[in-house]
């Protein structure tokens, strides 16, 4: 990896994960980048500036008013010379300052002056990460084009187990490389992804749904966008933030999802059906709240259309990917779905395995191809599964003359 000639401004804010920024700084310098480091006052409490100075061969700036070179204004000069700004770790505090446009220390002031792309790798306690204010700030920044490298899940320094660990330096480094040498194999392609679970109304206050979080589908939509595609995300209700830069089509029922997909099918190059679609819906949705009367209540359900099957039946040039959530006979059941629904690929996962299925950040999948091959992947983040899958789709579009 060569970063020669690239100027990277590394902002280190105050969290215990600041120690991981040392490895990142070292990797960047080794790759030839000219790295300049700004540390917040709190970051200095965790790690000594001298460490970064030694690795970057530059003075580490911490104070806005410490103007060492009278020929320049330090925060403007640092901002102007950066090809890329990376904040790792980013605390809830620096995210809030960035979202609000505050400039009350060297890092936040420089960020206001920076016009280069910004990559942010947050790290904090799980409850802080989930706080609505932090979520809203991240959403604001995302909308402004800031790229996030999501924290990992696991044991946190505060003792909690959950999401909030700074992404590993290798992962941040890979995102930096990608921002300079973008891998855009889906440039010019249109990708439609369905995500989340559907909602089937019983009456105005009740419905049938399932446990799908939407994580897999949202990761696919975000990665497809990063790989250059024009993305449509058709999603059932989900608590996840809307991915930036994709056309978002919110739906509720399977019937809504069917029409949203079918309307757009023709113009798409890739269709990925990660949604957990309800197989049945109530035969009638009562317009008024169903009253409690008898000891037993029977709700008659009717079959929903199979969206994937209809896509498979109508597809022309489209590369179609289905998902198969199974609890037994994984590959045989998934292969049967692939054939019945005329898919090009089926991503099969055994939802009973730990680290796979609904709500988790990871997945353990086997990718079955219509030509009969099965690729069994290890535990990967849903994002990695998404990238892998999309790379297969991109390769296939090229080999089928789709370029
Ligand atoms: N699917 C769909 N429409 C449906 C049901 C499923 O488009 N009405 C899609 C899903 O989005 C997924 C694939 O079909 O990509 C497989 O979904 P799954 O629930 O595993 O399969 P089913 O066909 O419902 O089979 P079964 O419930 O018998 O396992």
User: What is the pTM (predicted TM-score) of this model?
Assistant: 0.74
| Extents of the domains making up the chain | 7-180, 190-399
- C-alpha to C-alpha distance for 36 and 261, rounded to whole angstroms: 47
Tokens standing for residue 47: 């790690």
For the chain, give the mean pLDDT: 94
Residue 147 CB less than 6 A away from ligand 1: no
Interacting residues of 114 by C-beta distance below 8 A, sequence separation 6+: 9, 79, 82, 85
- Ligand 1 atom nearest to CA at 307: 7
So what's the pLDDT on residue 355?
77
Same fold, 7-180 and 190-399: yes
- C-alpha to C-alpha distance for 140 and 161, rounded to whole angstroms: 27
* Terminal C-alpha separation, the chain: 28
Cα 324 to ligand 1 centroid, rounded to whole Å: 7
So what's the pLDDT on residue 64?
86
So what's the pLDDT on residue 401?
66
Q: Which of 273, 281, 368 to mutate to test the pocket of ligand 1 (most atoms within 8 A of CB)?
A: 273
- C-alpha to C-alpha distance for 252 and 235, rounded to whole angstroms: 8
So what's the pLDDT on residue 399?
81
What CATH number matches the domain at 7-180, 3.10.110.10, 3.40.50.10320, 3.40.50.1950, 3.40.710.10? 3.40.50.1950
Low-confidence ranges of the chain (pLDDT < 50): 403
Residue 142 CB less than 6 A away from ligand 1: no
Of 400, 219, 233, which is closest to residue 319 (Cα–Cα)? 400
What CATH number matches the domain at 190-399, 3.40.50.10300, 2.40.50.140, 3.10.180.10, 3.60.10.10? 3.40.50.10300
Q: Which of 210, 277, 350 to mutate to test the pocket of ligand 1 (most atoms within 8 A of CB)?
A: 277
So what's the pLDDT on residue 72?
87
- C-alpha to C-alpha distance for 215 and 238, rounded to whole angstroms: 9
Q: What amino acid positions are annotated as catalytic residues? A: 158
Residue 8 near residue 179 (C-beta atoms within 8 A): no
- Ligand 1 atom nearest to CA at 309: 7
């Amino acid at each position: 990896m060569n970063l020669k000639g690239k100027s990277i401004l590394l902002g280190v804010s105050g969290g215990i994960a600041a120690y991981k920024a040392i490895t990142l700084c070292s990797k960047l310098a080794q790759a030839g980048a000219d790295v300049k480091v700004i540390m917040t006052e709190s970051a200095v409490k965790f790690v000594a500036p001298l460490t970064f100075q030694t690795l970057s061969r530059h003075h580490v700036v911490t104070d806005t008013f410490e103007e060492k070179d009278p020929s320049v204004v330090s925060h403007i000069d640092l901002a102007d010379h950066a090809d890329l700004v990376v904040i790792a770790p980013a605390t809830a505090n620096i995210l809030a300052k960035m979202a609000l446009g505050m400039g009350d220390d060297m890092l936040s002031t420089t960020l206001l002056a920076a016009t280069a792309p910004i990559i942010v790798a947050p790290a904090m306690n799980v409850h802080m990460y989930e706080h609505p204010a932090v979520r809203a700030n991240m959403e604001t920044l995302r909308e402004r084009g800031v790229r996030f490298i999501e924290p990992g899940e696991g044991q946190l320094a505060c003792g909690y187990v959950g999401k909030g660990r700074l992404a590993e330096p290798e992962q941040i480094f890979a995102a930096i490389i990608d921002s300079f040498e973008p891998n855009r194999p889906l440039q010019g392609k249109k990708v439609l992804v369905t995500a989340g679970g559907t909602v089937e109304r019983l009456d105005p206050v009740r419905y049938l749904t399932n446990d799908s979080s939407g994580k897999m589908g949202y990761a696919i939509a975000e990665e497809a966008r990063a790989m250059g595609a024009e993305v449509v995300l058709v999603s059932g209700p989900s608590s996840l933030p809307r991915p930036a830069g994709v056309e978002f089509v919110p739906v509720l029922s399977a019937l809504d999802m069917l029409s949203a997909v079918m309307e757009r099918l023709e113009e798409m190059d890739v269709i990925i059906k990660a949604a957990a679609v309800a197989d049945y819906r109530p035969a009638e949705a009562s317009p008024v709240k169903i009253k409690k009367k008898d000891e037993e209540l029977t709700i008659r359900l009717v079959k929903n259309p199979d969206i994937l099957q209809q896509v498979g039946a109508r597809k022309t040039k489209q590369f179609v990917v289905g998902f198969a959530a199974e609890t037994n006979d994984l590959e045989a059941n998934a292969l049967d779905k692939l054939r019945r629904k005329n898919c090009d690929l089926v991503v099969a996962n055994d939802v009973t395995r730990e680290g796979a299925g609904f709500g988790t950040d990871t997945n353990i999948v086997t990718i079955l191809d219509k030509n009969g091959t099965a690729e069994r992947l290890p535990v990967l983040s849903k994002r990695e599964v998404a990238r892998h899958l999309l790379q297969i789709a991109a390769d296939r579009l090229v080999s089928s003359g789709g370029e």
